[in-house]
Chain A
Amino acid sequence: MVIKLIGILIIVVGFLLRVDTLLTVLTAGVITGLISGMDIMSILNTMGKAFVDNRSMSLFVLTLPAIALAEKHGLREQAARLIGSIKAATAGKVMAIYLVLRTIIAGLGLRLGGHPQFIRPLIAPMAEGAIKARYGIDQLPEDLYEEVMGYSASSENYGNFYGQNIFIAASGLLLIQGVFKEAGIAVDLLVMSRYAIPIGIIAVIYGVIQYLYFDRKVERKMKEVNKNA
């Protein structure tokens, strides 16, 4: 019986060894089917049917042309300008404001965000700049630099992860619906999105607390540095 779990093992090993994801998942499916006594035709049938039944998960492809045209005319640059115009006195406040914005953006199902697009060019330097300006220093101590960067990166992840399933046609929700459908259970997208809202709010609260606490830590640390200097 336990041999049926070989598919799970294949996935784990494939992911760990960084084998191509699609190839890993497909191999896991075929091998699991064969070992459990399915013939190759019925495996192809099962996988093909489920793939077609779950096209909803990839319906977002239809949103790409409109996004692509807006990007061509400067969508990302305009978003960057808006974020760049945030006025915040401390590093933590920069991150907190971005976290709130990012959660809302994700909750609207918009494909706008990312570490290369917003954290590296905007949020991280703004947070760093806020500390430099506030304490009149040219360079952050190394451990503090690491902390500012780490927290800046986290604001993108918190907002993206806990905000995305608030959108009723989020690919995460569609995957949930698809998996349950394969098991003969119907679930409602609106219900799922509604229950994602409180979790999104909790995530924002924790993130904001973490960032404001970091501000106080910076304050203490810089006082010490100034005293010693």
Chain B
Amino acid sequence: MLKLLNLEYMYFLTGLLLIMVSIYTCMDKKNPARYTTALFWTLFGLTFMAPIIHLPNSLVGIFLIIMAVLSGGKLVKIGSHKEPSTEEKNRETDKWGNRLFIPILIIPVVTFGVAQFTKLGALVGLALASIVAIIVAVIMFKESFSNTMEESRRLVDSVSTAATLPQLLAALGAVFNAAGVGTVVAGLISAVIPVNIALATLIAYFLGMSIFTIIMGNAFAAFAVITTGIGIPLVINMHGADPAILGVLGMLAGYCGTLVTPMAANFNIVPVALLNMKDTFGVIKKQAPVAVLMWISILIFGYIVLF
């Protein structure tokens, strides 16, 4: 039984879910790109199963190229979905009330419980929590397998190809490491700032995170580059900062950049249109003072706990 709680099996199950969703996508005749969309999610699903089905890494690399081309060619599309009427939705909401939160609250509670009180770790915890939540939801709502898959397809469609971005950024980070990009960045930074002062390297790291996030609109994209270029060589290796604490604070410093960049359109520009505002930068202007204060607070907090 304990053997079944191996993370590998959990990944296999995730891959299986994505492949099932792909099958339902193939059957969705109203999706104008149903086969290419299904191909994208199937390939993604197979990467989850890689070690168990003995998929060589280079083949996964080829999958990534195919996935990127499908995504770039706009060949991954949102399918058709049954949208219940407002009356139906209201009836359902009246019927279930706050019990609707039961399946989704199971996820954090079980995840945290497993991470804190067992040796299985947070990831097995998250997987177990998801499985328990699915079982509870299926029983509670008396849903069929095919309905569950159709609804999963709706959500997979809505998280879109962006769901694979963090993993792809980690892959980019791996190439950067192999190519020695971090060393080059660290060399450039070292020429500009007094790297023997711990505070200076910390400022360079947090500033790098924020500036890169402002340029790219995405702290996740900035993280791999700035952490391999500044965080690891200068702050961790030279000044002995704790990687876990530095990493999370660096990411949060990056979010300060997200608050002030129009590049993060979903967060800062789309709401302007949604709320019928006139000033494109109306949201960013309100967020800027808090972004600056947060950045300074993270720096001070970081300096105290890290050195």
Q: Which residues of A contact B (CB under 8 A)?
A: 1-2, 4-5, 7-8, 11-12, 15-16, 19-23, 25-30, 32-33, 35-36, 38, 41-75, 77-78, 81-82, 108-110, 112, 115-116, 119-120, 124, 142, 145-147, 149-154, 156-158, 160-162, 165, 167-169, 171-180, 182-183, 185, 187-193, 195-196, 198-199, 202-203, 206-207, 210
Contact = CB atoms under 8 A, between A and B. Distances in A.
Contacts, number: 461
A15 B218 contact: yes
A43 B61 contact: yes
A95 B209 CA distance: 28
B112 to A, nearest CB: 6
Contacts of B290: 154, 158, 203, 206-207, 210
A185 B243 contact: yes
Given A57-B167, A65-B148, A156-B267, 17 more contacts: A15-B216, A25-B221, A29-B176, A47-B171, A48-B56, A48-B60, A56-B123, A57-B166, A65-B152, A66-B104, A66-B106, A73-B141, A154-B259, A168-B125, A179-B228, A190-B115, A192-B247
A145 to B, nearest CB: 8
Size range of the interface on B?
35 or more
Contacts of B72: 19-20, 22-23
A129 to B, nearest CB: 14
Nearest to A172: B251
A75 B249 CA distance: 33
Contacts of B59: 48
Nearest to B61: A44
B234 interface: no
Contacts of B107: 63, 66, 109-110
B80 interface: no
B248 to A, nearest CB: 4
B130 interface: yes
B130 A62 contact: yes
A62 B168 contact: no
B101 A48 contact: no
B93 interface: yes
Contacts of A198: 301
Given A115-B274, A179-B173, A12 B216 contact: yes
27 contacts: A1-B187, A4-B180, A8-B225, A22-B68, A26-B68, A29-B176, A30-B65, A30-B175, A50-B171, A50-B175, A52-B47, A52-B57, A57-B170, A74-B93, A74-B96, A151-B286, A153-B272, A154-B287, A169-B123, A172-B219, A179-B173, A182-B174, A189-B122, A190-B122, A195-B248, A196-B248, A202-B297
